[in-house]
Structure 1
């Protein structure tokens, strides 16, 4: 709840500053949309594009079929999600630091903000690099804010885009998501290397750490973020696996749960999960609490092991958010890149007037499904926070 208040204060402050100092800050205000353009980064994009224009073009020749496959996969996924939603509503909001009751995803604020910034920069620069590698000009680069939704953009020269061949357009449209997926792959390799080698060597388990207490949940006001739990109802909880087994197999909604922590002993009464009332819900998120092994601390100290651990955590969220958002952006609906890719593919065989109607119809259907998933799944979880 406090994090949502901080977000509200932050975004309201940005809007006030943008409106009051719009001329000095060179901000365009269009109702709830704020936009700031600049030309300062065009030289850097040109430099990257000119390192090897052929490489960028041929890499996106591979990226186009991957994007089309990703589009089909996302259409299938979103339809399946719609079916599952009515059977088992699931809350999900990728807002760093905000813990919504019933959500399977909680994005930590520090790692999440870094991942989101990289996601936007890499996505838009991907479009810009492919555009310049193929002779399409860039008008400006900028950032936008729509209500609480931040974003970035690369504004291309419209005449150059209109004159460009279909293959050129497809490469440019596919580049954003392909750059996101490429960054996700790099981050995943870093995560795999660190979590399979150094982290098991450097750390050992020392209980379960509470990383978040869900607002208005059964643990609110009793348990606190940062507590290290050694046992629950007399059962040792040394890691996430033992904790999950305890919740699923040995606890029911309505049961009392006694936590032995490093701050004392506390008792809560479990409720049912917001998405499944038959499963016990303590209203906390936890992770295995790790400490540096004594022999490792003697050799490397505490700073290096924890730096590499935090690096693995940040890279995990870079991987996860770039993968999710990169694929979501391939949905065949405008103004997402997938909508433009879908439109160009249709133009290859379908007359222009029919293409426009098909793209518009499909876009509205996709928008309706996404809106329904958000409203039906996320809004009830948000209301539980108040």
Structure 2
């Protein structure tokens, strides 16, 4: 069952909410990364640098997943409109004058919205009304997350089966293991086209992915040459014995899968385009909602904390701590080799 640390994480999330969970996650990530950096400083090596690079940290993208441009722009526009106009609606309900309200445009394409309440009027409100205005955007983001998730489910359960939209599965490198041959050579997100001459592309099901991997790894023995063809080039590695079973040869990569839809007809393309917008909007609203709860200057959390906690020094300390933790969690990106 779950260990002590898991229960501690549950407790902090329940008691301190998403802000507490965010801070705890950054603390755990920072501790692991700093320990890896200390080891690298005491004994610099390729494997030690690789160990840092393979820490989770924070990432600007999901390895192996490309974000479509138009769907991405629309999703960001939806995110900003939901967030900003929610602040405006709550401000108007509190009888606060809106100094400015409008759309952000790129050329003639709307990419978001903005609302600017009268800050002097907001400051005169009681703490409860201030908190409602400041937290409106985050609350709207979480509600939007649920709505977009339900829309995704409806598409997957009812619309896609009726349109007979299928998927092709491909194999990607999720991560590499320190002190193994592939570490420092293969990178997260690389697409594996062939493994020991076994094709890893356009597989029809997850079961066929497993079958292809099993067939490819069947000849992976200690000291055997393992041939990997990726979207960036071909590589050969000498397998080394597994620490748990000396008869098995490993090169030290963790495998992930990505899928691409097989779509026929304009209506199916339109449906999948909408589904992509729903999926991106769900993710963006969820993560922006969580991040905005952090007490960082310029974020909603900073103003929520400021309206409810009298000690500005404490708020400044927590904000500075989170910024430092985020910087530490970004460090693995400087150790990719």
Task: Structure 1 unaligned segments of length 5 or more: list them.
Answer: 1-65, 272-276, 293-301, 348-354
Does the residue aligned with 2:90 lie in a helix, a strand or coil?
helix
- When normalised by structure 1's length, the TM-score is 0.57
Alignment of 1:120-199 (within 5 A): 120-141=80-101, 153-199=114-160
Q: Does structure 2 conserve the Cα–Cα contact (< 8 Å) formed by 1:126 and 1:179?
A: yes
Cross-structure match for 1:319? 282
Cross-structure match for 1:359? 315
Q: Please state if 1:79 is matched with 2:45.
A: no
Alignment of 1:1-386 (within 5 A): 69-85=17-33, 88-90=54-56, 92-94=58-60, 103=63, 106-141=66-101, 153-203=114-164, 205=166, 207-208=168-169, 233-234=197-198, 237-239=203-205, 242-243=208-209, 246=212, 250-251=216-217, 255-257=226-228, 268-269=234-235, 278-279=252-253, 286-292=258-264, 302-347=265-310, 355-374=311-330, 376-380=331-335
Cα distance change of structure 1 residues 270 and 144 upon mapping to structure 2, 3 Å threshold: farther
Using the alignment, how far apart are the partners of 1:194 and 1:84 within structure 2? 40
Q: Does structure 2 conserve the Cα–Cα contact (< 8 Å) formed by 1:190 and 1:315?
A: yes
Does the residue aligned with 1:255 lie in a helix, a strand or coil?
strand
Once the two structures are superposed, residues 36-55 of structure 1 have per-residue CA deviations (whole angstroms, 9 ceiling, x without a partner) of xxxxxxxxxxxxxxxxxxxx
Alpha-carbon RMSD: 4.3
Cα distance change of structure 1 residues 104 and 306 upon mapping to structure 2, 3 Å threshold: closer
Using the alignment, how far apart are the partners of 1:356 and 1:249 within structure 2? 61
Cα distance change of structure 1 residues 285 and 168 upon mapping to structure 2, 3 Å threshold: same
Does the residue aligned with 1:81 lie in a helix, a strand or coil?
helix
Task: Structure 2 unaligned segments of length 5 or more: list them.
Answer: 1-13, 37-53, 173-183, 238-250
Once the two structures are superposed, residues 59-108 of structure 1 have per-residue CA deviations (whole angstroms, 9 ceiling, x without a partner) of xxxxxxx996232232233223334545642365446xxx8xxx476433
- When normalised by structure 2's length, the TM-score is 0.65
Deviation at 1:345, TM superposition (A): 2.0
